[in-house]
Chain A
Amino acid sequence: MEKLVATEKAIQVIEVLKRKYGSLLFEQSSGCCDGTAPMCFQADGHYISSQLILVGEMAGVPYYIDKNQNEYLKNMQIIVDVMDGPGASFSLESTEGVGFIMHSKILE
Chain B
Amino acid sequence: MPRLLAIGILLGLWQLLVVVGVKSPAGLALPGPGDALAKIGDLARQGVLYPALLNTLRRAATGYALALLVGTVIGLAAARIPVLRAAVGSLLAGLQSLPSVVWVPIAALFLVAGGQDENAMYFVVIMGAFPSIAMGVLSAYDHIPPLHFRLARSLGARGPQLYRHFIISAALPGYVAGMKQAWAFSWRSLMAAELIIGSLASSGLGSLLDNGRSLGDLPLMFAAVLTILVVGIAVDDVIFTPLERGLLRRRGLLAT
Indicate whether A and B interact.
no
* Chain A residues proximal to chain B, CB less than 8 Å: none
* Chain B residues proximal to chain A, CB less than 8 Å: none
